[in-house]
Each structure stands twice: as C-alpha cells, then as structure tokens.
Amino acid sequence: MFYDFSSIEKKWQKIWIDKKLFETDINSKEKPKFYCLVMFPYPSGHLHMGHVRNYVIGDVIAQYKRMNGFNVFHPIGWDAFGLPAENAAIKNNIHPKKWTKDNIDYMRNQLKQLGISYDWSREISTCEPEYYRWNQWLFIKMFEKGLAYKKISPVNWCPSCQTVLANEQVENGMCWRCGSSVEERNLEQWFLKITKYAEELLDGHKLLEDGWPEEVLIMQKNWIGKSTGAEVDFSIGSEKIRIFTTRPDTLFGATFLVLSPEHPSIEKFGLHKKPEIQEYIKNSKKKTRNERILNREKTGVFTGLYAINPVNNEKIPVWIADYVLLEYGTGAIMCVPAHDQRDWEFAKKYNLKIREVIKSSESNIEKQAYEGEGTMINSGEFSGLSSEKGKEEIIKWLEKKGLGTKKINYRLKDWLISRQRYWGTPIPIIYCEKCGIIPVDEKELPVLLPENVKITGTGESPLKSVPEFIETKCHRCGSSAKRETDTMDTFVDSSWYFLRYCDPKNDRLPFDKKIVDYWLPVDQYIGGIEHACMHLMYARFFHKVLRDLGLLNSDEPFTRLLTQGMVTLGGVAMSKSRGNIVEPTEVIEKYGADTIRLYILFAAPPEKQLEWSDEAIEGCWRFLNRIWRLKEIIYQENQKKISVSKEEKDKLLRKLHQTIKKVTDDIEKRYQFNTAIAHIMELVNELYQYKSLGDETSKSVFEKIVVLISPFAPHIAEELSEKIGLKEESIRLANWPEFNPELIEEPSVEIVVQINGKLRGKIITKRDISEEEIKTQVLNDTKIKNYIKGQIVKQIYIPNKLLNIVVAE
C-alpha cells in the first residue's frame, strides 16, 4: 500500500494558495526580515532539472527561516525577453509574445506542482511594459550621468545569433548562448560604463567574503583584472609613444618597443605606406582576438624607427606585432625579453638584444625569461634594490622627471548593451535632425515594443522595418526624429528585478526607496555558477549605480550566495543536445513532488554535482511511505499496549533530541540538507525499533518527525499533521522544533574494572562508548594503572558493565 501523493499534493497546493499562506506582509516589521531569492527562470518551455534543484533548495531555506521566526520574502518572476523567443518565432511562425506567455503559463504551473512557497502576488515578467519602462527610465538616468554612451568600436558578433555580444558573453572566443565562433565587427553601439565601478566592484568583495563562494569572487576578480604599474613615454624624434607596463623595475632591460597593428602612431609616421607593414596589418586583421592572444608563434615587422629609452637614453628598435592589443593599456609596450616570455620568444626569433636586469637564483635567461621577483642589476643608480622596491623608486623618478606616471589598468571593459534583435527593451533614444542624440521624454515612457514586426533573423534590427515605430517628433524642438532601433541586452532586465519584486506595481518609480532599503540586501541568493561574471557582476554594478542615483542605500545586493551544483546523468550535465534529460514532470507524475524534492536534497550537498539515479529516487519514495506507515501503526485504534522501561523511552527521546540538534546544525552551518535528511532517516529507523508504538512517547517523536521533514516534503507533512491533529492550521506555519540539551547527553554508566579477575576500580563514563575508549580511560587512571605491571595479553569487555584486563605475570 502506497500513500496517495497525487490527491494529497493537489489538495494542499490549493489550500496554500487559497489561504495566501506565502504572501509576505512587506510592511510588517514585527519579525526580522529574510529575503530569499532564486535566479528567475527564462521561460524556455518547461522546467529542467537544474531549475528544480535551484528552486527546491530556495524553498527549503525559505521554509526553514519561516519556521524560525523570520518574515520571509520569497518571490518569483520571469526573465522573459530574449533570443529563443525570436528563434521560435522564425521557426514555428508564432509571435514571441505568445510563445513566451504560453511558456510562462506552463512553467508557472510546474512550479506550483512542486509546492514551492512563492509569494505569487508579486510575480513579475520582464517583457511587460510595466517592467521594461523602468529599464528605459534607468537607461535615461544613466545617460544623463554619462554612464550610458554610444561609440564605434570593434565588437563581438555572433554570426549565428545575428547580434553583438558583451565581452562577458564570449567564452573562449565562442558565443555563450550557441557556442558559435565569435567574429569581430566595427559598429556604433551603446555601452554602460561599468569600468567606472571597477575598483568598487573589487573592493566590495570585502563585504562578500563571508557569504559568497570563494570561487565566484576569484572569477570576478580575474575578470576585473586589475594591474598596477606605470605609463612611460618613449620618444621618437619629437613624438612620444606612451607604453603601459606592470614592471617599471625592468625599464633598463627594455631593448625594443612594440606597437599594436592598429596603433594610431603607425599612420602618424606614415608607416602604413610601407608594403611589408601594410601586408602585416592586413594579415593580422584576419585573426581573432583570441588567436592573437594565444598565438604561439610570434610574428612582427620592423618599422625602421628607433625610440629613446628614458632611463638610459638608449636607442631601441620599434616593431609592430599583433600580440599587442590596441584596447589594453596604451596599445604599445616596451619589451623586456629577459623578463617576459612573449618578448623573449620574439627577441629570439628576430635576433634582438636580451639584457638581464633582475637577478634571482632561479633565473636562467638562456633558456627562458625569468618573470619573478629578484634584485635589480644593470640598472644604474637603481641596481641593488629589490624588484618590489625598484617599482616604487622608478615610478617616483619618472614622475619627478615628467617621463611617466603610476597607472592602474583593468581588464574589465564597458558593458555593450545594444542588440540587433526584436524581443527586448527598446533603447529610449531619438535622433533628432536638429538636437542630435537625445533621450526620450520621461513622460512618454514606455517606448512600446511594436507587435507587428517581421522577424527575419538577418542581423538587421527588426525594428528598422517598422516606420510607425521609427518616425517620431523631437519633444524638444518638434523637428522630425528617428528612434533608436536596437534593443537592450536582456541582462539589463535581470540586473535589478529583485528590487522590483519589493514594489512590483509602482507606477511612479521603479520601486519605493523605503521598502527596498528595508528588504535589501537579499539575505540569500541561490543560482548557477555560470552567472559568476555576467549577471552577478552586472547586478552588483547596477546596485551601485542605483545607490549613486539616490534610489537606494545599500552597497551590495546579495549578502549570501549559494551556487548549486549541476545535475548530471551518466557523468555529464543533462542537456537536450546530449539527449540525457530527465523530465521533472514525469518524475512528479510517477512519485510526487515530495519525493523529487527529497531526492534532490538528499542526493548531494547543494553546491556539489548531483548524479541522477533512478534507484536512489526509489529509495526516497520508499522512505516517505515508511513515514506514512508509521502513522498508520502509531495512530491505529485499539492498539495493544506493550509496556517498555523508562530507559527505553529515554533512549528514544534522546535520539529525537540528538536528531533535532544535528538537523538544525546541518542546515544552519552550510545548508547540508543531505546529511540533515539522513539523520531524520535514522530517527525513523529507531522509531520503528521502539517496542511500544502507539504510546505517548512514540506519538511525541512522530509529531516531531512530521515537523522536521516538512521543509523537505511539505505535502505529506501537511497531510500527516492534519491526520494526527497537530495544532497549527498549516505545518508551514509551525515552529522549528528545539532540542533540549539535557536530553541529548548519553547517561553515564559505572564500569567495573578487573585486573586478572580482581576488582581494582570503577570508571564512570558515557554510555555506549567503545572498548578502545574505555581502555584508554583505564590506562590513564592513576590508581588502576598501578595494578598493570606486565604485558596486557587479553581483555574482555561487557559493554556498559565490565572490563577485565589479563596481564602477564
């Protein structure tokens, strides 16, 4: 006989919603607040197992906090703009809006089937004008502050998605969405000035060290890529070439200079007219950025020019080479082949001078560059200094002479947000014949996304083909004007959605400051690690901008972050292309939501990979049935009474309180739900062993089991709670059980110690300790020790009663 999960789950899901059980009183300050946030889903069609894992973990945390007296806010919404809707439109001839809304309806239903405790009254969807008008409003505020700007620059172009990508969206030269090889194009595009916040984004890590996975902070740190060094001017005649270096201490070792093929000085000196240089520049244009960075074989061309090294007035040759990129630093470098491996390879290939200027016992510059620290040599008045000290001293010297300055560079680039696609937020800009580029009047927002648009996927912004959209009048001067036809990167939508949840219906502002200042920062954020350098960086950036616009007060949006591990099958991530997907709905139909929830939490700690196993899910299903049967046994009428000793009862209660403690600790410390569930399983086993099922003790233990299991398997817990008459109207309003520290202690026992059969002493100790432990205690007992004169040959132990040690005499 199995319990009827299907009707039980439907019954309680309806009751929870009817009673508005999870709708948060956002203005109540009676209890401490807890904002539990999960990364909102993209409505792709249906939930995958990764979503289920994310949302089940979030739900348990929310429920656990609710039971511990917090006013919990646990909202959900839809990251509803994006490319797949457009691709579906092209493929299936369905409007992106319809496709998206249908998917949302289906997936909302799936979330409800999982019994997740969301506050559905605050649901948002980013493709609604009520939401995206605030994207536009914020864009205008940023434009006014100079934080949104337009420029021509080489950008990453995905030939398959037919749109540009931000740097964060290119992984190893490939599109993050479709994996195609990314090309470079020169386009005029909109950018957000995230670089202005580079230092603060790094510095903010101090606030996150305790609550975020170290791995994510390291990824962000590397992405921001701060380097400290100097800019130094080398002169060529009356012209100056400025270079960036992180090693000013090696300045005396600079034996040549390299310009990137795009460097403006090339034209200035007329070098582009030389055929071999022309040829070289043409060839390097064919390479991707990635090829240029990784290229093993260094290539270059001599310019015929010489520059003067400012520290020693040495004349050094100037080369052009494509391992130097224009966008980084100044696009020109001084080359120190003795101490930079790329320069070393270049010098070897073209037979250029190599001069050692940093000495260390590890260096061997015949074989390769020495890139580490050491003592400065061949460096004039600076010789003898440590390289560390030398950096400072050389910078000071350069600054005094006006030849250079200290300089900090970041790898981080401004965030490119223009997309040549339809299904996104229109960028609220008009191009007026007279006034030029101006933002749309705030009063005219939202700039609605027109619905009647031909989506072709050709790479032209689809809005370009909608004259009613493009043609407009300038609100300043009345002249005719044209609208911007690009839409925003959808990562703009997700950069502040968690603020909108706090005040989703506000039609005067994106959100009310007072409400957001109470609820932010988010106490716990849960989502995938794939967002470490995209969403999580953008959201932090937005938060700081919003703060500087006076819209909120906190510095960081998320206090704690949990990145859940992947769900795998056969050792690899579940994915459509691999065909190793387990559909959540099928599992729910077979075993119920409680089983899939319990399984997902039990199979692995949240941050670790979870390998799907049909057998293990069977095990969880059987476990829930075991709990169900315990109720049938304990609460059956006309139960035959078997009396048990007080010791037996105490033993069961002790196990209960130990379990409460362990489960609480596991959840509190690191959300170790897997071990928490294992402890509850042990308690259930112990209860089954209890001889007097049906007595008050067994009932009191069972009641607690129902409460303990409720965050993990809420439906069965509700049903059992109703059946056994627990007092709360819903188990989800119950208090988390407390343990009694006195009941946890194992009672002590008196163990008689004999040496060769003679009583020599007694040891008072904890119950059920091992033979090894008791032996150690005996050997440490000063009195008994004296009786052990020879070699121990044997010992006999009767647990909790007697230890007889046989000694050779």
Residues that bind Zn ion (CB under 5 A): 432, 434-435, 474, 476-477, 479
**Quick one: 50 or 329, whose CB is closer to ligand ANZ?**
329
DSSP sequence for 98-125: HHHHHHHHHHHHHHHHTT----GGG-EE
**Quick one: 246 or 506, whose CB is closer to ligand ANZ?**
246
**Quick one: 372 or 790, whose CB is closer to ligand ANZ?**
372
Residue 409 binding ligand ANZ, by CB under 6 A: yes
**Quick one: 94 or 325, whose CB is closer to ligand ANZ?**
325
**Quick one: 373 or 695, whose CB is closer to ligand ANZ?**
373
Angle, CA 599 vertex, CA 686 and CA 737 arms, to 5° = 50
282 binds, among Zn ion, ligand ANZ, none (CB under 5 to 8 A by kind): none
Q: Which of 66, 247, 544, 631 binds ligand ANZ (CB under 6 A)?
A: 247
**In 3D, which of 17, 38, 92, 143 has the Cα closest to residue 501?**
38
Please choose, out of 120-128, 243-251, 500-508, 624-632, the segment that lies near ligand ANZ by the rule CB under 6 A: 243-251
Instruction: Please state, in angstroms and as integers, the Cα–Cα distance from residue 393 to each residue in 226, 229, 630, following that order.
Output: 21, 12, 78
Residue spans of alpha helices (H) in 520-580: 535-548
CB of 10 to Zn ion, least distance (A): 59
Instruction: Please state, in angstroms and as integers, the Cα–Cα distance from residue 388 to each residue in 247, 335, 376, 409, 421, following that order.
Output: 9, 19, 9, 18, 50
Q: Which of 103, 245, 425, 490 binds ligand ANZ (CB under 6 A)?
A: 245
The rounded distance, in Å, linking the Cα atoms of 786 and 775 is 14
**Quick one: 202 or 806, whose CB is closer to ligand ANZ?**
202
DSSP sequence for 141-205: HHHHTTSEEEEEEEEEEETTTTEEE-GGGEETTEETTT-PBPEEEEEEEEEE-GGGGHHHHHHTH
Cα 334 vs. chain centroid, distance in angstroms?
A: 38
The rounded distance, in Å, linking the Cα atoms of 522 and 74 is 10
474 binds, among ligand ANZ, Zn ion, none (CB under 5 to 8 A by kind): Zn ion
Instruction: Indicate the length of the chain as a whole number.
Output: 809
A 10 A CB-CB count for 604 gives 19
- Reading the block at residue 294, the tokens are 């990784």
CB of 289 to ligand ANZ, least distance (A): 11
Q: Which of 189, 250, 494, 804 binds ligand ANZ (CB under 6 A)?
A: 250
631 binds, among ligand ANZ, Zn ion, none (CB under 5 to 8 A by kind): none
**Quick one: 361 or 791, whose CB is closer to ligand ANZ?**
361
Site string for ligand ANZ, 736-765 (x = CB under 6 A): ------------------------------
Q: Which of residues 321-350 bind ligand ANZ (CB under 6 A)?
A: 324-325, 328-329, 331, 333-334, 336, 339-340
The rounded distance, in Å, linking the Cα atoms of 620 and 688 is 17
CB of 246 to ligand ANZ, least distance (A): 4
- Host H or E run for residue 379: none
435 binds, among ligand ANZ, Zn ion, none (CB under 5 to 8 A by kind): Zn ion
CB of 317 to ligand ANZ, least distance (A): 16
246 binds, among ligand ANZ, Zn ion, none (CB under 5 to 8 A by kind): ligand ANZ
Cβ atoms of residues 261 and 281 within 8 Å = yes
Site size toward ligand ANZ, by CB under 6 A: 17
CB of 260 to ligand ANZ, least distance (A): 6
The rounded distance, in Å, linking the Cα atoms of 623 and 292 is 58
**Quick one: 434 or 766, whose CB is closer to Zn ion?**
434
Cβ atoms of residues 684 and 623 within 8 Å = yes
CB of 320 to ligand ANZ, least distance (A): 12
- Reading the block at residue 361, the tokens are 């016992």
The rounded distance, in Å, linking the Cα atoms of 497 and 510 is 10
340 binds, among ligand ANZ, Zn ion, none (CB under 5 to 8 A by kind): ligand ANZ
**Quick one: 336 or 533, whose CB is closer to ligand ANZ?**
336
CB of 482 to Zn ion, least distance (A): 11
Cβ atoms of residues 277 and 303 within 8 Å = yes
**Quick one: 324 or 601, whose CB is closer to ligand ANZ?**
324
A 10 A CB-CB count for 467 gives 8
DSSP sequence for 394-435: HHHHHHHHTSEEEEEEES---EE-EES-SSSPBP-EEEETTT
CB of 250 to ligand ANZ, least distance (A): 4
**Quick one: 110 or 255, whose CB is closer to ligand ANZ?**
255
556 binds, among Zn ion, ligand ANZ, none (CB under 5 to 8 A by kind): none
476 binds, among ligand ANZ, Zn ion, none (CB under 5 to 8 A by kind): Zn ion
CB of 257 to ligand ANZ, least distance (A): 10
Rounded to a whole number of angstroms, the CA Rg of the chain reads: 35
A 10 A CB-CB count for 413 gives 17
CB of 432 to Zn ion, least distance (A): 3
- Reading the block at residue 355, the tokens are 């001069």
227 binds, among Zn ion, ligand ANZ, none (CB under 5 to 8 A by kind): ligand ANZ
247 binds, among ligand ANZ, Zn ion, none (CB under 5 to 8 A by kind): ligand ANZ
- Reading the block at residue 424, the tokens are 């996104």
Residue written as token pair 């997936």: 107
The rounded distance, in Å, linking the Cα atoms of 495 and 734 is 35
**Quick one: 353 or 513, whose CB is closer to ligand ANZ?**
353
Site string for ligand ANZ, 89-128 (x = CB under 6 A): ----------------------------------------
**Quick one: 41 or 248, whose CB is closer to ligand ANZ?**
248
Cβ atoms of residues 761 and 753 within 8 Å = yes
The rounded distance, in Å, linking the Cα atoms of 134 and 777 is 71
The rounded distance, in Å, linking the Cα atoms of 380 and 399 is 18
Instruction: Provide the residue type at 146 as one letter.
Output: G
Cβ atoms of residues 122 and 504 within 8 Å = yes
The rounded distance, in Å, linking the Cα atoms of 685 and 662 is 16
39 binds, among ligand ANZ, Zn ion, none (CB under 5 to 8 A by kind): none
The rounded distance, in Å, linking the Cα atoms of 350 and 337 is 12
708 binds, among Zn ion, ligand ANZ, none (CB under 5 to 8 A by kind): none
Q: Within 13 Å and on the Cβ side, how many CA atoms surround 514?
A: 5
User: Which pairing describes strands 375-376 and 436-439: parallel, antiparallel, or unpaired?
Assistant: unpaired
Cβ atoms of residues 694 and 636 within 8 Å = yes
21 binds, among Zn ion, ligand ANZ, none (CB under 5 to 8 A by kind): none
337 binds, among Zn ion, ligand ANZ, none (CB under 5 to 8 A by kind): none
**Quick one: 430 or 709, whose CB is closer to Zn ion?**
430
- Reading the block at residue 692, the tokens are 């007097």
477 binds, among Zn ion, ligand ANZ, none (CB under 5 to 8 A by kind): Zn ion
Residue 149 binding ligand ANZ, by CB under 6 A: no
Q: Which of residues 183-242 bind ligand ANZ (CB under 6 A)?
A: 227
Residue 374 binding ligand ANZ, by CB under 6 A: no
328 binds, among ligand ANZ, Zn ion, none (CB under 5 to 8 A by kind): ligand ANZ
The rounded distance, in Å, linking the Cα atoms of 121 and 115 is 16
CB of 73 to Zn ion, least distance (A): 44
Residue 298 binding ligand ANZ, by CB under 6 A: no
As beta bridge partners, residue 573 has: 568
Interface contacts to ligand ANZ, rule CB under 6 A: 227, 244-247, 250, 324-325, 328-329, 331, 333-334, 336, 339-340, 409
